[in-house]
Structure 1
Amino acid sequence: MNSNLLFDFTVNKETNTVIINREFDADLELVWEAWTNPEILDQWWAPKPWMSKTKYMNFTVGGRRFYAMVSPEGQEHWSVQEYTSISPKTNFKMLNAFADKDENRDLPGSQWDLTFNEKDGTTTVHISIYNESRERMDKMIEMGFKEGFTMTLNELDTLLSTLKK
Structure 2
Amino acid sequence: MTTKTEITKDVANKKINVTRAFTAPVEKVWKAWTDSSILDKWWAPRPWRAETKSLDFRAGGLWLYCMAGPNGEKSWCRVDIKTVDPQQGFTATTRFCDEEGNPDDSFPSMHWLTQFSATATGTNVDVEISFDNEADLQKIVEMGFEQGFTMALGNLDEVLEA
Per the shorter chain, which TM-score range? Answer: over 0.9
- Superposed, 1:113-128 pairs within 5 Å as 113-128=113-128
The residue aligned with 1:137 is 137
Assess if the C-alpha contact under 8 Å between 2:56 and 2:63 holds in 1. Answer: yes
Deviations 1:18-37 (A, max 9, x none): 00010001000000000000
The residue aligned with 2:101 is 103
- After TM superposition, the score normalised by the length of structure 1 is 0.93
Q: Does residue 47 of the first structure (1) align with residue 52 of the second (2)?
A: no
1:158: how far off? 1.1
The residue aligned with 1:30 is 28
The alignment partner of 2:94 has SS state of strand
Q: Does residue 92 of the first structure (1) align with residue 83 of the second (2)?
A: no
Ranges in structure 2 where 5+ consecutive residues have no aligned partner:
none
Q: Which runs of 4+ in 1 moved over 4 A?
A: none
- Provide the rounded CA distance (Å) in 1 between the counterparts of 2:82 and 2:25: 25
- Superposed, 1:72-87 pairs within 5 Å as 72-87=70-85
- After TM superposition, the score normalised by the length of structure 2 is 0.95
Ranges in structure 1 where 5+ consecutive residues have no aligned partner:
none
Deviations 1:28-79 (A, max 9, x none): 0000000000000000000000010000000011100000000001111000
Q: How many residues align?
A: 160
- Provide the rounded CA distance (Å) in 2 between the counterparts of 1:91 and 1:151: 22
The alignment partner of 1:115 has SS state of strand
The residue aligned with 2:156 is 156
Assess if the C-alpha contact under 8 Å between 2:5 and 2:153 holds in 1. Answer: no
Aligned equivalent of 1:62, options 60, 65, 68? 60
